[in-house]
Structure 1
């Protein structure tokens, strides 16, 4: 699925964080939050030190949830994010 298809899909959310955003918390390594069937949340964490690990420890999960919320607050909305994606795709393909 290309980014535009994902951004227009009601089951996904694609948001662009512009280069001049002030909030770069969590951008030194990727992370993923997953809600498990029983309702708990687990986090997959990557960093310069580790290739990736999964944790369900509440303190670590809360820290990633906080980073996620802070990053998302500075990102463009779903609708606003589509135009920068279209522009980058246009530049890369022409």
Structure 2
């Protein structure tokens, strides 16, 4: 578990998109007249809590969807919805003009 965390942390910390994001967003919320460290810790903690909450919601939704879609009834409903979407795309493509 610790190894997975360290690998994920190293991948995230070396991601240039994440570094650029934090370098562009965090300074907007830092008051230069106040001490830097507590403000940074508060921003980092807030971001971390939000990420944990959002990923927990994703995991709960995925678990719920898996339980519903793995049944025969759920699978049939998913197939009907998917088929309807593809038929709609086909009708839209056929009706469009260049």
With the length of structure 1 as denominator, give the TM-score of the two structures. 0.25
Greater C-alpha radius of gyration:
2
With the length of structure 2 as denominator, give the TM-score of the two structures. 0.24
- Structure ranking higher in strand proportion: 1
